[in-house]
Structure formats: structure tokens, C-alpha cells
Structure 1
Amino acid sequence: MTVRGKACIAGIYEHPTRKAEGQSVAQLHAESAAGALADAGLSKDDVDGYFCAGDAPGLGANNMADYMGLDRLRHVDSTDTGGSSYILHVSHAAQAIAAGKCDVALVTLAGRPRSEGAKGTAPRSFGANIPDDPFELPYGRTTVGAYALVAARHMYEFGTTAEQLAWIKVAASHHAQHNPHAMLKKVVTVEEVVASPMVADPLHRLDCCVVSDGGGALIVTRPEIARSLKRPVVTLRGAGEALKHQAGGYIDLTYSGGRRSGAIAFEEAGVTPADIQYASIYDSFTITVLVQLEDLGFCEKGQGGKFVADGNLISGVGKLPFNTDGGGLCNNHPANRGGITKVIEAVRQLRGEAHPAVQVPGCTLALAHGTGGLLGTRHGSATVVLERE
């Protein structure tokens, strides 16, 4: 069963807070949900499908449905693939809608890592009884360290440079200056990125995303419902998902699960990377963007450094505008899970609602892609191709 044309994104909301000292995670979820419903022109009583992931407190959908008063649910999904979950949820919601399991699906994300003092430089486990932890945690596995491994290998294999990676941060900063909610609004140079303190060789501080509180929400509906609302209609044209893991130690660090999820999404959508006018690319680190651009087919493997250089990702300058809200590198990374904001900004672009300084003229076809987990160990990838009717 294809999801092409079977569902639309009718409502979006990005929570404006970046530090929520006086709000609970459940409250951030609820406020994000209310914002997306208001954007769509619907109410909670219209929602009959609910999607959340591991950031939702308690038993996920059980607790959040009760907290938000979602009384008409007939379909729930709490699939968790980390930061890519919410892009994957768009696809799963479309599948449920196409199967007649729900008509109006709500997707929410929220978290408070900044208020709770989360850092990517401390050894990290994803929960109790994780089978890989005894083999990896004794060596000090950290989030930034796992991505640094990928960057170092990419540099070794293909000659990628720190200056080329820096161009990704530069592009994000050019966009963030126009976002009043962005945490880092200052436009930076390649030299400033490379001169920033080393965090995990070869990644510098400015190669890393921000840590922020906040959240976001999406409303996915049947096309007939979307067309009845007073909003531009954004349709799901294609979607793909994939996992990449250690493969018993036979792992190539230079590619991501996006190689498969992107191919699946493009095939279903019936388009190629050359057709995409705007791309939202998960940017936990600069290397995350570079690897995914290659794997999604925007350039050949190993050519990502050349592709991102000289402002090629800057809206109005380069040929592939990306993350025009500033992305995780400059805007926000709520709950340390940035997938939902990638969909939100893609929808803004397709509606023509991005900031005028970064809006892609006549944008009708966009991509949102995310990873969840660690690029250097195991992760989930999800890709959606969206189109404005």
C-alpha cells in the first residue's frame, strides 16, 4: 500500500520556549498540540489518532491522552526511533489514515534537556539492559564522540576538511539571524567555526547543535479534511524508513540509514533529488548533514564537502536551501530530538510562510529527513517528500 496522496499535514506548531524552567514536559506536549490544532482550525475532539515517542512521559500515549483529554482515540502509535520518530510518525499516520484507522492524527514532541542539564559530552546509555552497553560504555561512548568517529573516518576516506564542515554551520547561522526564537542568531564565518574549541576531534563546539527545551506538534489528516480547512494543502508524496546498526562489527561509518530510507521515499514519490526545492536535514552535528546529503543522493558519496562549500546551502545563494529556521545547529533541538522541527519548517516553506529573507520562491516540493540514535553506532532514519497542491 502506498501512502502517496493518502494524507496531508494540516497543522504545525513549534513551541517558542527554549528554556522551560517553569513548565513540565506534559505541559509542553499539550501546549504544542493546542498550537497545531489551532493552526489547522481543528479541536482536540477532532483527533482520533495519537502518535508520540520516548520523550512522552509515563506510558507515552496512555498518560498523554489522559492529560490532554483525547477522548475519541481509535488509533495510537508510540514507535520510538529517537529523533527520527516524528518524521516516521508522519508516514505511520498516513498508513493508518489510508487503512481507515483514523482521520485526524496528532503527533507531539516535548522535552526539557536544557533545564535538566543534559550534555552530549557525558557517557550515554539509552536505558536499562541495553545489550550493547557492556561492550561500549566502558570505552566512554558519548554522543559527540560517536559523531566524531564518523567525521574522522569521512575525512580519512574522502579528504573532507574542517572548513567544509564549517560551511554547514555558516549556512544555518545565515538563516537563524532571521528567526526571533533561535538560540544562536549571530552569523558566523568558516574561520570562527574552525577556531571554536575542540569538543571531540575533529568536531569543534560550533559543529555541534544547541541543547534546548521546547517541543512541537503536527496534525496529519485525510486529504478531504485538509482541503476543507483554510490552510494551504501540503500532501505526503513519499516516505521511507530504515535502521542501520553495527552488523556484527562490519560497519562502514561513512554512510547512514538515509541511503535506504531516502531511496524508498523518492521511489514512492516518483521524483529525484534534483526535483527537491528545499531540504530539512537533521543537523545534530555538521557531519550529520554532510553524510545525509550524500546518502539522499544530492551529491555523490565523498563529494559532500565540496557540495556544502561556498554557501551552497544558503537560501537565495546556493542551489539547495536547507534548514531555513536555523535548524538544530542554531535554532533549537527540543528534547534532543530534532525530527519534528524538520517537518515543521518544510511545511512552512511549502505554504510560503517561512521568513521572507529565506523563503524559497514558488516552493512546491520539499524533503524532510532525520536520524535518531547515534550515527556512529546504531540509528533509525526516516524521510518524507512533501508537496503543495
Structure 2
Amino acid sequence: MPTSIIGTGQSAYTRHPSPGLDTAQVLAQAVTAALADAGLAPSDVDGLALSSFTLGPDHAIDFAWRMGLKLGWLMQDTNGGASAGGMLQHAVRAIEAGDANVIVLVAGDRMDQGAFARLVARYNRATEDHLAPLPMAGPNALFAMLTQRQMASLGLERRDYGRIAVAQRGWAAQNPGAVYGTALTLEDYLSAPLVADPLGRYDCVPPVTGGDAVVVAADRSGKARARVLSVRASYNADQQDGDGLSTGLRTIAPASWAESGVDPSDVGLACVYDDYPAMVVAQLADLGLLPETGAGRFIAEKIATRALAVNTSGGQLSAGQAGAAGGMHGLVEAARQLMGRAGERQVDARHAVVSGYGMVLYRFGACATTTVLEAAA
């Protein structure tokens, strides 16, 4: 049974949430918007998947009760940037099995400075016991070392990563929901203060308050939708023993392309998890979109020129990383593009690939997901 995304929704992204706003409200706003986009009511929903770092002490069932949802299928995912793909994988299987007909996937957080500090200090046991005691905040230093290694391996320079950040800021200027839409030049990027050499201010994803949601259902003819051709996940692919230059996507990409019947050369849009520009490069390479040689030339000729549309919302680097919703951000954008609802930034693409990446353990992300979508009407 073909399954599709038939509606998308977001709550407002902001660096400064209002004092009365809580995580449940952020998630509810995204769900309400997604259902309205799909032309459905809460009574039509019989499945829910939720991901959030800050919903506690409530859980997915508590949120469903507050929303008035009566469900036959429910899950809660805690895998950060890989949550969207993981939830979509389970939702597709649930619909195929007849366990649910209409499933809402939602992810988001109320993320102010205090919430972010608590998150990075107690992200998991590895962080709490071994990383938090070090004189650094969050994973910037880890990904600075990874970026140095990638630069040496692929012959890249800071300006190559700068072209990615500048290109995404250009897309963000066409996205009214992006937190940062003002122009960014390569000179601005290169002259910005260093955070952890070689990472500067514009290499590090900004945490924001916000939420994202999609509505997943069996195919409905005559309605614009993004059909799910394949969705795969990889967990602990390298057991934290790898060099970080490749992700779990490398192990699942061949099967994902084979199942979808789509070749990487057919893809007109890539929405990859972009906590750092180096991870954009790594995931594009693992997906087979970036050649094994000439990475810098590919960035200059394909990404900077928009010959390949990458992270057309501005990505997390410019739109903002909405807590656990970071993994959902790219899925929402890809679906909107394929349904022709991206406004000024609309691209002409029939196929899109979305990747998720998250849950830094001792060194790098332990989870990765890939989804291939097709425009259908």
C-alpha cells in the first residue's frame, strides 16, 4: 500500500520564546497546522509519533490526551536528528499493516538558553560522565576535529564550507519562517569569530524554539502529496570506532536507492541534516550525490549555484535547529517542495532525498536515516 505525506505544519521558530510558551503548546501548534494543511481534523487521526527533549514530565500519551486524540497506534522517539526518519519508518509499516490510517509525526521543543545548557550537559551518560566535565560547551569541539580531518582527507578549505553556509542563507532569505534571513557573504563567513578552530560562528547550528509535523496516510488520488518510496535507518553502524568521515547512511543508502527505484542522479532536492557544514558534505557523499574526488569543485559548481538544491529552507544553519525537531525540519521542507507549497523558494524537483543524523555519543552521531520521496498528485 503506497504511503504518502499529505500535510505539513510548523510552529514559529524563535530564539526568544515568550515566557508563557511551553513545549506542549509548540508541538500542538505544529500538529494543528499540519492537519489544516491536509484538510483533516483531530478526529481523523488514529496514530501519533512524537519526539521531544523537553516535553517531560509528560510523554507522547499525555500529549495525545491534551490534543483530544483517540489512537490505535502510538510511539515516542528520542533519537534527536534521526527521529523523523525513524518515526516515518514505523508509521509507514503501521499503515501497511493496517494498524492505523492517518498518523501525525511531530517533533519540537521550547529551547531557551537554560534548556539548551541542561540538554548538552546531560544529553546521555557518555556526555554527562566524560564530555560535560571538559571545558567546552556542547559538541562544537568534537565536530571541529572532524572538520579538520575532513579538510585533510578531501582537500577542502574553510571557504568551501563557507559556500555551503552562504548558499543556505540565500535559501533562508526566501523562507519567511527562517530565524536568520539576512544576507551572508563569503567574506562575512570567513571573518566571523572562531568557535573551535576551524569552526566559526556560521558553522554552528543555532538552537531555537519550534516544532514541525507531517501527516502520513495511505495514498489519496487527486491530492498533492509526497509519496514515500523508501525509508531506512542505521543505528550504531561504526560502534563509535570510525573516523567520522562517513555516517551510517553509507550502510543503508544502496538499499534505500534500490527500494525506491530512484538513482542519485535523479534527485532534484536534498535535505540533509546540517548541524555543521562538514556533515552536509559527509552525508551528500554517503548518499552518492557528492563525487569521491573534487568535493570543493562540486560545492562551488553545484551547491553554491543551486544546480543541486540543498536544504532549500535555509537548513538548520539559517532556519534554526528546533530541538529534537531538527530531524523533522528537512522532511517538512522536502514534502512542501514536492507538493508545490514552498512559495518563493519553490524548485522543480520530482524526487527528493532526506537524511537524518543524530545522537552524539563519545565522538559522533550514532543514528542515521534516509528517506526518498516522489512528487505525486
Q: Flag whether TM exceeds 0.5 (same fold).
A: yes
Once residues 217 and 25 of structure 1 are traced to their aligned partners in structure 2, the CA distance between those partners, rounded to angstroms, is 14
1:282 aligns with 2:273: yes
Q: Which ranges in structure 1 are unaligned for 5 or more consecutive residues?
A: none
Instruction: Tell me, yes or no, if the aligned pair for 1:294 and 1:303 is still in contact at 8 Å.
Output: no
Once residues 195 and 244 of structure 1 are traced to their aligned partners in structure 2, the CA distance between those partners, rounded to angstroms, is 37
TM-aligned CA distance change 1:345 to 1:132, over 3 Å: closer
Match of 1:35 among 33, 36, 45: 33
The answer for the alignment partner of 2:211 in structure 1 is 215
CA offset at residue 282 of structure 1? 1.0
The answer for the alignment partner of 1:321 in structure 2 is 309
- Give the letter for the 1:57 counterpart: G
Residues 134-149 of structure 1: matches in 2 within 5 Å?
134-140=129-135, 142-149=138-145
Once residues 378 and 178 of structure 1 are traced to their aligned partners in structure 2, the CA distance between those partners, rounded to angstroms, is 30
TM-aligned CA distance change 1:302 to 1:149, over 3 Å: farther
Per-residue CA distance 1:86-109 (angstroms, 9 max, x = gap):
122112100110011110001111
Q: Secondary structure at the match of 1:383?
A: strand
Match of 2:221 among 222, 227, 230: 227
TM-aligned CA distance change 1:125 to 1:304, over 3 Å: farther
Q: TM-score, normalised by structure 1?
A: 0.89
1:347 aligns with 2:347: no
Per-residue CA distance 1:335-388 (angstroms, 9 max, x = gap):
2541111011111111122133x3222x21111111112384232111111111
Match of 2:283 among 285, 292, 300: 292
Q: TM-score, normalised by structure 2?
A: 0.91
TM-aligned CA distance change 1:304 to 1:117, over 3 Å: farther
The answer for the alignment partner of 1:307 in structure 2 is 298
- Give the letter for the 2:65 counterpart: D
- Give the letter for the 1:364 counterpart: R
- State the superposition RMSD in angstroms: 2.2
The answer for the alignment partner of 2:110 in structure 1 is 112
Stretches (4+) displaced over 6 A: none
1:360 aligns with 2:357: no
CA offset at residue 79 of structure 1? 2.7
The answer for the alignment partner of 2:366 in structure 1 is 379
Aligned length: 371
Instruction: Tell me, yes or no, if the aligned pair for 1:241 and 1:260 is still in contact at 8 Å.
Output: no
Residues 44-193 of structure 1: matches in 2 within 5 Å?
44-55=42-53, 56-71=55-70, 73-114=71-112, 116=114, 118=116, 124-127=121-124, 130=125, 133-140=128-135, 142-193=138-189
> Per residue, is there more helix in 1 or in 2?
2
Match of 1:206 among 177, 182, 202: 202
Once residues 324 and 216 of structure 2 are traced to their aligned partners in structure 1, the CA distance between those partners, rounded to angstroms, is 23
CA offset at residue 134 of structure 1? 3.2
Q: Which ranges in structure 2 are unaligned for 5 or more consecutive residues?
A: none
